[in-house]
Each structure stands twice: as C-alpha cells, then as structure tokens.
Amino acid sequence: MKLLCLPSLVLALSACAAPQQETRTAVPEGINDSFLADDADVDRFAGRWELESREVYANRDEILATLQIEPGETVADIGTGTGLYVEPFAAAVGPGGRVLAVDISPKFIFHVRERAEAAGLDQVEVMLSTERSAELPEASVDVAFLCDVYHHFEYHEDMLRSIRRALKPGGRFVVIDFDRVPGVTREWLMGHIRAGKDVFVGEIEAAGFRVDEEVEIPGFEENYCVRFIRD
C-alpha cells in the first residue's frame, strides 16, 4: 500500500473534512448592490416600500396575524430593510419578548436601530447578517419572517440552513414573496424573480421545513404567503 507523505496526508484529510460551500444561486447579478452601497439612500427606499400602494404595507395587519405571535416570543425579521414590521412585531411580543431585526445592509441596520431607539422599543435588537447566514443564535427564535426577501438570497441553501438552525423545534417560518407566472406577472418581476412559488416552496421543504398553510390574504395580487413549520 502506498503511503502519503505527511503534507499530502494533511491536505487530503483537510479536503475531506471541509464543508461543501454552496455555489451562488442563479439570482440576477448585483441584485443586492443598491442595499450594500456606501451611499445607499435609506429614505428613498422607505419612500418606495412604506406606502399604501405596496401590498405588504397595505395588508400588514393581515400579515401580522399569519405569524400567530404570542407575547414573550422571539421574532426574527430577516431582511428587515427599513424596519417596516419592527414596531408591529414589538407590540405583538410585548416587553417580555424580543424582535431580532436582521439585514445585510449596514445602512439599513443603522436606520432601524435609530428607529427602534426613537420609538423606545427596548425589545428590539438589530443585527448585521451575511449573504450566507442570518447570524442568529441556535434555537433562539420562535418565528422567522421573510417579506419580499427570499428571492434576494444569493446562497439560499446556506441561508435556509442558518434559519432552520436559529428556529426552535416547531417554530414558524413565514415567507412572503412575489408570484412569478409567465403571461401574468409583469415583465420587470419576471426578470427580477428567479423562480415561481412551487420552486421556492420545494427548496424550503428540502431544507427541513413543512408547509403548514398557504395563507390567503385578500389584498394580495402579486404576492403570496406561506407559513412553514420547522421539523
């Protein structure tokens, strides 16, 4: 039997032990660049996202109900953006709960931290994530929430693993995203969203979640909402 020299043996063992890194998901190039830019204009984003013509703003009460939040729970708002849901989540969990507002954008993080402090929301913690991980402690979250965020994941398998790890067993995972239906969905969304609902749901199920309910929200025309349970 041929023996490897020590350096070769160490390299071979290292290669076997190293975790496989997921290749980049086929999202449009630069999909998150505007959020990560040093000169990102948060007020401009807030003006685009926090207005009644946006479905997820106009229907926020109905959306909040789908999370089934109980006082004292911990909610992770992953991809919090300008913090649209931070205040409703803080009210739902109460002073004894926690809201973890997570984003990859340092500009958004600074804005949401200021927003929470100005509103006196002591139960809100603002956290910077990465493109591969939500950076949340293991088994620390009762509810994880993604609102028009999943299609921005550049490494969706890694992100889903990190979210599943952060959720407690039986925890809820609510995902809202844009539907993508050829011939129905407007052209810009067809180019922006990489896949339809069935593909996204299948990816999430493969990561260790099961569908609890596809929630019908009457005001939704372009979006859908699915609640999953962490197995």
Band of pLDDT at residue 6, cut at 50, 70 and 90:
very low
Contact 141, 76 (CB under 8 A): yes
The three-state secondary structure class of 61 is: helix
Given this model, what pLDDT does residue 21 score?
Answer: 66
Closest by CA to 83, choosing from 53, 117, 55, 59, is 117
Residue 205: CB atoms within 10 Å = 13
CA angle 68, 70, 73 (to 5 degrees): 115
Contact 119, 89 (CB under 8 A): no
Question: What is the average per-residue pLDDT within 131-139?
Answer: 97
pLDDT in tens, 42-85: 999 999 999 999 999 999 999 999 999 999 999 999 999 999 99
Which domains, from first to last, does the chain contain? 37-171+179-226 (3.40.50.150)
22 or 129, greater pLDDT = 129
Band of pLDDT at residue 15, cut at 50, 70 and 90:
very low
- pLDDT of 108 > 80? The answer is yes
Given this model, what pLDDT does residue 71 score?
Answer: 98
Burial of 16 (0-12, 13-18, 19+ CB in 10 A): exposed
